[in-house]
Structure 1
Amino acid sequence: MRIIGLLVFSVAFLFADLIDVYRTQGIEAVKEKLEQQLQEKSYWDKFLEKKDIKYGYYESTKFLILVDKKTKELKVYKKIDNKFSKIAQDSVIVGEKPGDKQVEGDLKTPEGVYELTSKLTKLDPFYGPLALVTSYPNTFDKAQKKNGHGIWIHGMPLNEKREEFTQGCIALDNPNLQNLDKHIDINESLVLISKETITEVNKEDISSILSFIYKWKDAWRKSDIKKYLSFYSKDFKRFDGLGLEGFAKYKERIFSRKENKTIIFSNINIVPYPNSLNKKMFKVLMDEKYRTKNYKFDGKKELFIELKNDRIEILTEG
């Protein structure tokens, strides 16, 4: 009861504070006050107190498909009442060669986080009744100059046996594949493929990342080029290979216009990112609404970030 009372008092105090800011300084000052609040880690610490974040933070993703290449297991989790519950666990087969996929034909299964882009049903019987297509290569893969395509979650041959490995895809028994397809929505699913079991996430990291996102957005919104670029790693690479120096020059030209900007993020998802670089990484996937006088954008925004030595840095952006 004491905690609830303190929380009510804090909310009431903040509300009263905002009313006073509005009364004396106007609505724009209230907006600025709220923007500042979103940049505070302490705000997100409180926000996450009762959230289940051991597999990441998700506002729009409802299904997680975790593939462990070492144990050759696939686990499916569904978000129920803001918690992820395991709804399936199956054995799978993966690429013939160990390690992270780098190039077309290397017979390796990639490591990373992927969306499901489509479902295929008119297939060669070798692949079973259906296949779920992943988004490999993703933005980070392209920045790392990885190539190849056609990484699927598919089934087994309908009328024959097959070897105990694939050319890079993930394969499971047909009844289990059909059960997976039945119980997920591919538009609300993410696939996490790792070389071994993914370490559970802690709330300190998630609250730090949420605070980071809004600090980065604030620098962007205000065209503060020095502060904005401080969020990027010296090893930054855009999906098209553009490095930090070229990216900085491009942004300097845009920021020099000093345009008024509206930037709104929604449906934020923060996903632990398995990788073969031994980095502590996360993928941030969110919806972005961007407006200036002469330009507007509504679409997806991706950040691939690294947590290192108490810093967060953007490695790749899309």
Structure 2
Amino acid sequence: MGMGTYSGENDRETTERAIRTALKMGYRHFDTAKIYGSEPAVGNALRRAIHDGLVEREDIHVTSKLWSSDHHDPLSALHQTLKKLGMEYIDMYLVHWPVSLKPWVDYPVPREEDFETLDMENTWSGMERCLEMGLCKSIGVSNFSSRKIEELIDFACVTPVVNQVEMHPMWRQKKLRSICGDYGIHVSAYSPLGGPGNAWGTTAVVDHPIIQSIALKHNATPAQVALRWGLSQGSSVIVKSFNPRRIKENIGALDLTLDDWDLFEIEKMEERKIMRAEYLVNDTTSPFKTIEELWDEEI
């Protein structure tokens, strides 16, 4: 179970305090990205925890991501990430989106004029160079469909270790998990609760009657049921909360066991992709003219 650190409106102090709380509760995987703005807080909190003897560096797993404006030079981008984190290496470096933006685009929702031609072969070569230089322990991708994974495999010298995607009981990613499994790629779930609290998120997952019923049966919370489902599929789950009570509740999912009937019931739930990223689609400058092209019909 990983802790997501997209800070949004949270200040650095709040983020650092939440990370320290999470460390004390047993979290060891921390997920950040250039575009989240949380790299300095993550690095500072983890360095202080290491200095204080709360944790050893080799016991924590730090993930960050190549933003879309840095596809032309992943090596320089990772150097900047490491500088912000105050670390010599990170454990995982992911291509955040299969989209390339102009170098000055440092905001999450691009304008129509911000897109550049995507050269994924060149981008991945840069990611492999980061790995060769020891700046990261492994490399992977995020938001890649089954087809985009297969296209990447065609030219990659190093197979991505991880594909981090939206995944929860209402978006189960069965096809993608199967394809990734064929190549030995681990699927990591972001928004494993459906992203409640985000502008684009929903409470539909944790409010769903099936999830509520299973939670009642096991004397657990709906969030714990959703997280345990993700873990039961062999995925890691990246949860995001800065509230100490929720941080504790989330990791409590590790103590929950779902039975076969629970899993059967969850398979009945209607599926709906929540994070659709329509802002990456346009008729003129984006490589994706429709939402179906962006997700290769996995929508």
TM-score > 0.5, shorter chain as reference: no
Q: Please indicate the TM-score interval, normalised by the length of the shorter structure.
A: under 0.3
Structure having the larger proportion of residues in strand: 1
Structure having the larger proportion of residues in helix: 2
> Could you state the TM-score of these two structures normalised by the residue count of structure 1?
0.24
Structure exhibiting the larger radius of gyration computed from Cα positions: 1
